Structures are given as C-alpha cells and as structure tokens.
Structure 1
Amino acid sequence: MAIDMSTFGGSRWVTTHPNNLHTHGSLEPVMSILDVRGFPLHDMFLIGINDSCGTIVLPSESRAENAAAALEPAYETRVYIMGRRQGEDVWATDYTRRASDGTTLSAFITDLTLEDGRQVIKDGRWVR
C-alpha cells in the first residue's frame, strides 16, 4: 500500500488541490509540461524551488519514474527514495531545467570564480 499524499497537506504554505495534489512554491512551467505530456496530476506533492528546479514527491517508484520521463528532455531529472513516512517508502523526482542546447543551468548561482581565478560557472552554465 502506498503512502497517502494528503499527509503533506495542511501547512499554511502548502496549497491543496482536488485529486490529492499538493503544491508549494513556483510551479510553472513544470505543471504545464506534466499536464501536456499526459502525466496525471494527482496523488503528489510538488515543491517548486524556483521556475527552474524543484522536487515532486510521489507515493511509488513507478509514478516517480513516469514523472521523470514526462519532464525529459526539457528537464534533467533524478529519481530516488526520499525516505519513509508512515512505514511506507516515499519517492521523489528532482528536476532542473535544461537550456535549449541541452546543458543544465545552475538554478541558484549564475557566476562563480574560484580563488585561483578560474571561472567555473558563467551565465548559469558550468564552464569546463
């Protein structure tokens, strides 16, 4: 039996929608992409860190894998067991938006230069 996702609702910062969908933070365009790609928007907790990245908490591995597949290739994704709640595994799909050339942009740091003068992030992209 999978965890009941309604346990993630109830906080003043979490919005509860029909179909046991719970959201927090910045949600566009990820919800639109999931909807357009036919991923059912129910039984999940969507945490939008900002417009470019976030986490989708889901009750099963198959739903987490399906969410990742729906977001690819527009987002880089990672599926993992987030932990246990109420004795059940809780799965998550992390997502980070990709640029049109396929590179993954840094969602938080746009430019980073090390003490030795080597620039490792420029315009949100890792410099190799």
Structure 2
Amino acid sequence: MKNLITAAACLLLLLAFLVQIIENQKIYIKITNLDEEVNNFKEVIKQDGCITGDNEKRMIGEISRILNCNPQKIKIKGDKKPMQRGELIRYRVEVPIENVIANREFWGIPKDYDKINYVVKRNTTSEYIGI
C-alpha cells in the first residue's frame, strides 16, 4: 500500500513537469512568432527611414494578437525622425509575457513572478532616399 501511495505522489509531480514542458513549448512558439514580427517591423522601418505612427500601431496590434495581451503594455521606442539612406535607425521593443509557469498555484509561486520581459534592442540601416 505504501508503494502505491508513493507512486501516486511521484506521478503527480511528474505530471506537473509534463504540463510545464507543454507550456514552455507554447511560449517558445509565441516568442518565435514575436521575433518574426519584430523582423518584419525592422524591414518596414528600413523602407520608411524611421518609426511612424502607422507602422507602430500595426506592430502593437500584431504583438497583442500573438500574445493575447493588453496593447498598452507594449512599448516601442526608437528614432521617429526620418534617417537618410545609410544612416542608423535604432529601435527597442519591450513586451511582458505573462503566465509562463503552468500550475503556479501548485508550486506556490506568486503571480508577480509569473512573467518575463521580452526585450529587443536593435539597429538597422535606413534605405529611405527621401522621396
């Protein structure tokens, strides 16, 4: 009987780890999609020469769709003044990703610790020719 009780407890712990592995895969897919969207954003601002209101709104909309999060929490910073061809455009994208720990109540982890910040700080060369 004691072996059965011990085995049940071990299975419960193993199941908790299995659920976390599945959650990690879901987060990995979200971050991969987020990286692709940031790369698309980079290509757009290269053509425009800077971050415009339109491409910033589109980027925020796509990120909030991918992560199913509040658009007000997404921060995009960078050069808003058009840069000529060959000049460097700086940009930074910061997004909080919440609910990264499956069964956080089971592990006794507070909600404040159940998030990560995805931060991309990059530069790109402008292709804007000023027409």
Q: Which of 1 and 2 has greater Rg?
A: 2
Higher-helix-fraction structure: 2
Settle same-fold status: TM greater than 0.5.
no
Higher relative contact order (CA 8 A, sep 6+): 2
- TM-score scaled to structure 2, two decimals? 0.30
TM-score by length of 1: 0.31
